[in-house]
Chain A
Amino acid sequence: MAEYSKKMVKVPTYSYLREQDADKLPVLDVRNLGIDFGGLTAVDSFNMTIGPTEISGLIGPNGAGKTTIFNLLTSVYQPTRGSILLGGIDTKGMSTHKVTRMGIARTFQNIRLFTDMTAKDNVKVGMHKDIKCSFISSLLRLPAYYKSEKAADKKAMELLEFMGLGDVADMKAGSLPYGVQRRLEIARALATNPSVLLLDEPAAGMNPSETAELTEQIRRIRDTFQIAIILIEHDMNLVMNVCEGIVVVNYGRIIAKGTPEQIKDDPAVIEAYLGKKEDA
């Protein structure tokens, strides 16, 4: 029998929202999330609350479980424990494409573009669910087909230009340089019209000037589309510059949470990155 009592205790599930989102509901609320792979706990007791216009960082040493968390958020893996509330709806048991349709979009650590298709077509694939045109009208080339294709073309070009990719629209995605491919992946993710954008190491392989440009772009994405962004990144400059809140994980658990300033000086974080300081 469970014992009932009136006493209140502090539970670690609810964290804070940024000031700008004070009057809004969190867009993503992750509670006590955990996953085991064959007895091995990869992620455990992961909590995170993201406001609708927040830029948040997820950092930690290699193998800390960051990408696994993204895979859980996008239903690539189903969690062993805990829940993910996307706009208040539990995504348990949903498939990846359904979760995406509910407003979560992502990029990949090892870029996953449709390499044989043009940059524009990559974005148009991202817009798939918003192109209103039935199977029959595209098969019979009814006016609805031309109308929807035209609208899609226009929006795809807008997105490409927004990401500074206007001049590579008709080039094959696979032939583009690395940094451009990363930005194209972001454009494709934005095309799904998300409310939360997950960026998995967006600056990996970029040179400093490209990274600086990316920092601006990330802010601009949030300001323009008014969406939440979570990014995994090893470039601390970028993270400290752009993120409003940071979550640090190691061995699948949260070891610190806070603003960039708080994280910078957190002993647990320093230890995770540099190892424990030996007492002399």
Chain B
Amino acid sequence: MKNTINSFWSNKARRTSFVTYAVVILAFIAVQVFDSMGMLSYAMRGQLIPICVYIVLAISLNLVVGISGELSLGHAGFMGVGAFVGAVASTALQSVIPDTSLRLVVAMVVGGIMAGIMGVVIGIPVLRLRGDYLAIVTLAFGEIIRNIANNLYVGKDEAGLHFALLNEDGLKMSETGKLIMAGPRGTVSVSAISTFMAGFVLIMITLFVVLNLVNSKEGRAIKAIRDNRIAAESVGINVMSFKLKAFVVSAVLAGAAGALYGLSMSNVSSVKFSFNTSIDILVFVVLGGMGNILGSVIAATVLTLLPELMRPLADYRMIMYAIVLIVVMLCTWSPKIKGFIQVVTDGVKGWFKKLFRGLFVKKEVGTNG
């Protein structure tokens, strides 16, 4: 028994995965307990689903930016595709699938698949580019998706779904028709069926997919491409195909998260899926650590809650957020500041050690004797 535990624990990848799952599950249980005890404020409860959404977005973007090493600035675009497709699918299926949780699952699957298709369409041309050029093209695609969604009108009547660009009149719906998407206003009167439970399950699925992918031969190939593209080619790895795999898996997960988001409120406008949101997700990934999945989970949670927690600061909270962001980046990356922190912590540690030695030295002698 002890041996199996040891061999399980000695594999670093397995250990990291285990800890990641454990942290997420424990956090979920903790939230449920606090909630049942009525310890969560209304504002806090409102943040639960967005936190799940951002965690999934951060993990999926980490797959592209951290694991695959491609800077993508258009992740919110995939989220938007998922959100709008999910909202339309859910509304369209309202009578077919009356059960809300099943409908939510279907909407997330459809949203994920559509985002995945967009991932293929965008990925094939984009992934041929390198570095900052790739970044700007993903940004451009994200903005194009948002721009189109901003002018898209979707409605539903007995005859089925109607689509139109630019204005509502183009829908040609019957009198009883119901508007689902109204251009710049985004989705309208969508029934909010997302649940925190669904968010938790989606996080678990995301972790399962991403962690298993990373610790497989595909994951090794993707990391190899990131470390040295030319060497990866020279050992027979098809660079394009693996970059695309990572990109599409990431898009599917972002789409599912988008659907969860789109169905968590009755109205979402396309402004939500702009460049700024892509950047926010990127901040989660970088602060959590490139390629560090648990880091993404924690960073997404903390940074989503941070503005909420800083509410007492009122007008100053966003500027504080900016300052925290800059200071954290400087402290974690600047060689000089890192060196300084190292010296200080070493000093403190040494002091503590001395203190402890003073306290425990007798006891140690005792056990030895």
Contact = CB atoms under 8 A, between A and B. Distances in A.
Tell whether any CB of A sits under 8 Å from a CB of B in the complex.
yes
B207 interface: no
B237 interface: yes
Contact of A117 (B209, B217, B227): B227
B212 A112 contact: no
B234 A106 contact: yes
A133 B221 CA distance: 13
Given A128-B217, A138-B217, A96 B227 contact: no
Nearest to B235: A126
A124 B220 contact: yes
A124 to B, nearest CB: 6
A135 B218 contact: yes
B223 interface: yes
Given A97-B238, A135-B218, A138-B212, A108 B223 contact: no
Contacts, number: 89
B227 A133 contact: no
B223 A116 contact: yes
Interface stretch (A1-9, A19-27, A184-192, A260-268): A184-192
Nearest to A138: B216
B223 A114 contact: yes
Interface in A30-76: 74, 76
Nearest to B209: A139
Instruction: State the main secondary structure of chain A at its contact with B.
Output: helix
B221 A145 contact: no
Interface residues of B, number: 23
Given A114-B227, A114-B228, A138-B212, A121 B220 contact: yes
A113 B235 contact: no
B213 interface: yes
Given A96-B233, A100-B233, A105-B235, A117 B220 contact: yes
B231 A108 contact: yes
A101 interface: yes
A100 B228 contact: no
Contact of B216 (A105, A115, A133, A188): A133
A140 B205 CA distance: 11
B230 interface: yes
A76 B230 contact: yes
A139 B235 contact: no
A128 B231 contact: no
A192 B236 contact: yes
Given A112-B230, A128-B237, A192-B235, A139 B212 contact: yes
Interface residues of A, number: 38
Given A76-B230, A135-B218, A139-B209, A117 B224 contact: yes
Interface string A102-146: 000110100011111100010011101101010100111100010
Contacts of A115: 227-228
A139 B216 contact: yes
Contacts of A141: 212
B239 interface: yes
Nearest to B234: A106
A139 B212 CA distance: 5
Given A113-B228, A114-B227, A138-B212, A97 B233 contact: yes
Contacts of B224: 114, 117, 125
A117 B220 CA distance: 9
Interface in A146-190: 148-149, 152, 188-189
B232 interface: yes
B340 to A, nearest CB: 25
Interface in B218-253: 218, 220-221, 223-224, 227-228, 230-239, 245
Interface of A: 74, 76, 95-98, 100-101, 105-106, 108, 112-117, 121, 124-126, 128-129, 131, 133, 135, 138-141, 145, 148-149, 152, 188-189, 191-192
The 6 closest A-B pairs by CB, nearest first: A138-B216, A100-B236, A112-B231, A114-B227, A96-B233, A125-B224
